[in-house]
Chains A and B, each alone.
Chain A
């Protein structure tokens, strides 16, 4: 055996050490740049006596968020929280609506019916290629200000909704919101349990499970029981003076933003859904036909589960885009987080800390949504055998 001479490689030629040194140099450069930028900023700000800390959060906001009971003397912190809630509201509602609409149109693009297919194609191709800011302006000018009538001629939909260019007033419940969430949770649980029971029955007796019908019925019954037991009532909207009373009023800016975001994001989601359905091996569809599954069953039990596995990451991306695009509401007066931040800066809060805080909040929201999407993705992947 040859004796290996273990001569120590000097550290300036030792690859391991060099790798460490290279990384350290890069880190040092990045840290130095950040420190230099921060130093520049604090020096410039202190020259003009502009504060560089977060004390502005305790200052009064001096503006009132449209449609919000928060007083204008409330601290900036509360106003920012309201802005965040507004962003979340339009984002969550927009995500739900865009997913449903996008999935339907995506499946429609693959329909055997020529008209349905053509309409879906026209929708997707037209909407995908229009910038969202333009869409939003059109949504406000054309739909809300153009089509919707003035409050004096508002459309009354059987007393359940009143539509005008001052907002959409919809019949709403009266009672505790948290309690309603609890009832909905219990109802969902009831649906799940009843559906499971029905599938057991189907296994035992061979009868059709019809778990959708039974589960749905249980859902409705639990809600009705909860409604009656806990004394909920409904309020219907009506026109009073130059506004509406009763029900819940959807702000016209919210409605315009929701409409634009939903239609725009749905067109992207439709393309993703179409692509993922087409990526499912053709044999799966043929096998489903061979086992005599109906069109709906084929889609719901065979194709969509496999398609979703492919489609979830890009759809999650579209959700993140929707959340970020909700900041365009600032241009139409919807008090989302971005507009609240801009207004507080206009009222005297120092610009850099405010926007740093706002960006951090947006990053946190996006990270949470990405994490949820990744969880969903991982769960779908585990299902595969």
Chain B
């Protein structure tokens, strides 16, 4: 054989072997690389239409494998610590006090989840996240749950790979202006500059509202709330738009004093703020959801962190079942959520019920219960029965 041909044989053989290894179909999971290879082949050889179907069949296979191997609930319980994605710069919802502790409405809900899953409200690691990174952190598993005044939307349920749970605060978007600007309604604001936080639903909502009202707004995004405040103080922005709860918090901490700012009366979008977990683990999602619902159910039953021990001998079956109280001839309900049977007791005694958490953090800002009241008071907080 001529030398050139012989030289060409070795590489050809190597390439063939490589190709064979990569395209072989693996039906019984032989290791981590097996599903990875089949994924790669299906993705590279399929057209756009068929990719969708092939991805779903692969998803079903891999989802079963994953749920059998590593469930987030087991992982958190064995690690003994719950990582909660949150923030440190929103007065009322999540700020850091002088001792370095996270204080706020959302921070307390992080503790609620820790109390329910681990029995200890302090076994929580607060991971501060920037707004543009919060979903990536959730998707990658950097945090176990996101409790960060995040709006529940269709795209976030779908493309962002998040599963949203019981909203802990039903909010809406509002507009804040300087008190001496002379604006009394958003309809008067035409040809103005509105400043918003980057990477939130606020940007899109502001633009949509302007289009609906038929006015022109120039929407400027800011990555950093501090820079936004500087721009607002310097007069670069005519209006500051955000969730009304955020505006109330920011106004209370404004350097020139809260009276320098006015929050206009109009609320122009629905912003259900809800904790979220990553897609693909419904056991974990349900466990976290019932931890949150426990606070709402406790308020409905009239149980607070102060009076919880007075219910030890109550005759009310619903309360006994809810708190996981035992007696000689009683069986304790275990609904199979993976939570300890007294999780509701731990949640309310260590943190509090929904009303207490609201009163402690949001009422001082001037926020009223409004639509966040119990359903018996005409609000939207309605917990399913615990049985």
Give a binary string over A307-342; 1 marks a CB under 8 Å from any B CB, 0 the rest.
000000000000000000000001111000001001
Q: Quick check: B43 and A52 within 8 Å, CB to CB? A: yes
With contact pairs A140-B227, A242-B238 given, residues A28 and B135 touching in the complex (Cβ less than 8 Å): no
Task: Name the interface size band of chain A.
Answer: 35 or more
Q: Does A175 contact B (CB under 8 A)?
A: no
CB <8 Å contact, A39 and B14: no
The answer to whether A342 touches B236, judged by C-beta atoms less than 8 angstroms apart, is: no
**Would B159 and A346 count as touching, CB distance under 8 A?**
no
Contacts of B236 in A (CB 8 A): 144-145, 165-166, 252
Interface digits, A40-53 against B, CB 8 Å rule (1 contact, 0 not)?
A: 10110111111111
Q: Is B269 an interface residue (CB 8 A)?
A: no
- The tally of CB-CB contacts under 8 A between chains A and B is 166
Assess the A47–B280 pair: CB atoms within 8 A.
yes
Q: Could you tell me if B63 and A24 are in contact, using CB atoms closer than 8 angstroms?
A: no
Residues of B near A48 (CB, < 8 A) are: 139, 161, 278-280
Task: Choose from B43, B58, B198, B204 the contact partner of A72 (Cβ within 8 Å).
Answer: B204
Give residues of chain A (147-175) contacting chain B, Cβ–Cβ below 8 Å: 150-152, 165-166
CB distance from A10 to the nearest CB of B (A): 12
With the chains together, A331 CA to B228 CA distance in Å? 11
* B220 with A66: CB separation less than 8 A: yes
Residue B234 CB within 8 A of the other chain: yes
Known interface pairs A11-B10, A48-B278. Does A165 touch B235 (Cβ–Cβ under 8 Å)? Answer: yes
Asked if residues B234 and A150 are in contact (CB atoms below 8 Å), the reply is yes
Task: Please tell me if A122 contacts chain B, counting CB pairs below 8 Å.
Answer: no
- Inter-chain CA distance A351–B160, complex, in Å, is 9
- Contact indicator A39/B39 (Cβ below 8 Å): yes
Contact B139 A67 (CB under 8 A): no
Report how far A141 CA is from B230 CA in the complex, Å: 8
Task: Please name all residues of chain A whose beta carbon is closer than 8 Å to the beta carbon of B35 when the two chains form the complex.
Answer: 39, 43
What is the bound-complex CA distance between A172 and B118, given in angstroms? Answer: 66
A63 contacts chain B at the CB level, 8 A cutoff: yes
At the interface, yes or no: B71 with Cβ under 8 Å from chain A?
A: no
Q: Is the CB of A351 within 8 A of B234?
A: no
Q: A38 and B11 in contact (CB under 8 A), knowing A48-B280, A346-B199?
A: no
Is A42 a contact of B39 with CB atoms below 8 Å?
yes
Q: How far does the Cβ of A362 sit from chain B's closest Cβ, in whole Å?
A: 18
Which chain A residues lie closer than 8 Å to B185 at the CB level? none
A338-361 vs B, Cβ < 8 Å mask (1 yes, 0 no): 010011011111110000000000
The answer to whether A38 and B40 touch across the interface, beta carbons within 8 angstroms, is yes
Size class of B's contact patch? Answer: 35 or more
- CB distance A49 to B280 under 8 Å? yes
Q: What is the interface of chain A mostly: helix, strand, loop, or mixed?
A: helix
- Contacting residues, chain A, for B365 (C-beta < 8 A): none
Q: Which of B10, B37, B59, B198 contacts A17 (CB 8 A)?
A: B10
- Once the chains bind, are A24 and B14 in contact (CB under 8 Å)? yes
B20-45: which have CB < 8 Å to A?
A: 22, 33, 35-37, 39-40, 43
Complex Cα distance A47/B67, Å? 10
A330 close to B36 (CB less than 8 A): no
Asked if B223 lies at the interface with its beta carbon under 8 angstroms from chain A, I say: yes
Residue ID in chain A nearest B181 by CB atoms? A242
Residue A20 lies at the interface, judged by CB distance under 8 Å to chain B: yes
A113 at the interface (CB under 8 A from B): no
Q: Contact between B37 and A39 (Cβ–Cβ < 8 Å)?
A: yes
CB of A72 within 8 A of CB of B207, answer yes
A351–B139 CA distance with the chains assembled, in angstroms: 10
- Closest partner residue, chain A, to B18 (CB atom): A28
B289 within 8 A of A: no
On whether the beta carbons of A346 and B198 are closer than 8 Å, the reply is: yes
Say yes or no for A64: interface residue by CB 8 A criterion: yes
A346 in contact with B219 given A56-B159, A64-B207 (CB within 8 Å): no
- Contact residues in A for B336 (Cβ distance below 8 Å): none
List residues of chain B with CB within 8 A of the CB of A241: 190-191
Choose among A20, A21, A35, A66 the residue that contacts B40 (Cβ–Cβ < 8 A). Answer: A35
In the complex, A229→B375 CA distance in Å?
74
Residue of A nearest to B15 (CB): A24
Contact across chains for B131 and A346 when beta carbons are under 8 A apart? yes
**Residues of B contacting A330 with CB < 8 Å?**
223
Question: Is B200 an interface residue, CB under 8 A from the partner?
Answer: yes
Binary interface profile of A, 115-145, with partner B (CB < 8 Å = 1, else 0)? 0000000000000000000000000110011
What would 17 A/B residue contacts be, using CB atoms closer than 8 Å? A11-B10, A36-B36, A43-B62, A47-B66, A48-B139, A48-B280, A51-B159, A53-B51, A63-B221, A66-B218, A144-B236, A166-B193, A241-B191, A243-B193, A333-B222, A343-B221, A351-B136
Known contacts A24-B14, A51-B159, A144-B236; 7 further A-B pairs (Cβ under 8 A): A36-B33, A43-B58, A43-B62, A55-B48, A72-B204, A351-B136, A351-B139
The list of the 6 closest CB pairs from A to B, nearest first, reads A39-B36, A346-B199, A348-B155, A48-B161, A150-B235, A348-B159
